């Protein structure tokens, strides 16, 4: 079963500029179907021997991330507050902001849980490498005869 993101139906007066003008657009989103504004862009690549997951997360350091696996779920999160950033009064305008994110992935059965996940953060990209189990890879594909 997978969750399908849906838009909440709102009355016509909330779909236009009135909601944006008063900052109410996000007020009517609930947490379960909230827009993923704070979540980073993610790429998932499948290679012959592994899966590679890339997160576009500039502005963080490797110590800001928490990556863990539990019960066939991969958890990736990061948190950085404005207090962590040096405050400098020389700015005329300051728009950089840092926020937290949290993502969960179902790990495919072809991933070997006994092999360690490799993680590397470089140039604003967090890369995770999950290695496949050779036995599981052989058992995944079944040929189906058509009668």
**Does residue 26 sit within a domain?**
no
Domain total in the chain: 1
**Does residue 59 sit within a domain?**
yes
pLDDT digits (tens, 9 = 90+) for 107-133: 988 898 889 999 999 999 999 999 998
**Does residue 28 sit within a domain?**
no
Q: Nearest-CA neighbor of 99 among 40, 30, 32, 23?
A: 40
**Does residue 128 sit within a domain?**
yes
84 Cβ contact list (under 8 Å, min separation 6): 98
CATH number of the domain to which 46 belongs: 2.60.40.790
Q: Is-contact 127 53, C-beta < 8 A?
A: yes
**Does residue 32 sit within a domain?**
no
pTM: 0.62
For the segment 90-103, the average pLDDT, to the nearest whole number, is 78
**Does residue 21 sit within a domain?**
no
For residue 33, is pLDDT > 50? no
Full residue range of the structural domain in which residue 105 is found: 37-85+95-140
pLDDT bucket at 12, cuts 50 / 70 / 90: very low
């Amino acid at each position: 079963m997978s969750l399908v993101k849906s838009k909440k139906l709102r009355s016509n007066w909330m779909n236009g500029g009135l909601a944006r003008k008063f900052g109410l657009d996000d007020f009517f989103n609930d947490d379960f179907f909230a827009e993923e504004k704070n979540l980073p862009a993610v790429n998932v690549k499948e290679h012959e021997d592994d899966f590679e997951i890339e997160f576009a997360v500039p502005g963080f350091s490797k110590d800001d991330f928490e990556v863990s696996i539990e019960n066939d779920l991969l958890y990736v999160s990061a948190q950085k507050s404005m207090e962590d950033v040096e405050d400098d009064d020389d700015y005329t305008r300051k728009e950089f902001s840092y926020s937290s994110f949290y993502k969960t992935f179902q790990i495919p059965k072809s991933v070997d849980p006994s092999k360690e996940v490799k993680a590397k953060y470089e140039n604003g990209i967090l890369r995770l490498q999950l290695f496949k189990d050779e036995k599981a890879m052989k058992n995944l594909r079944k040929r189906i005869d058509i009668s």
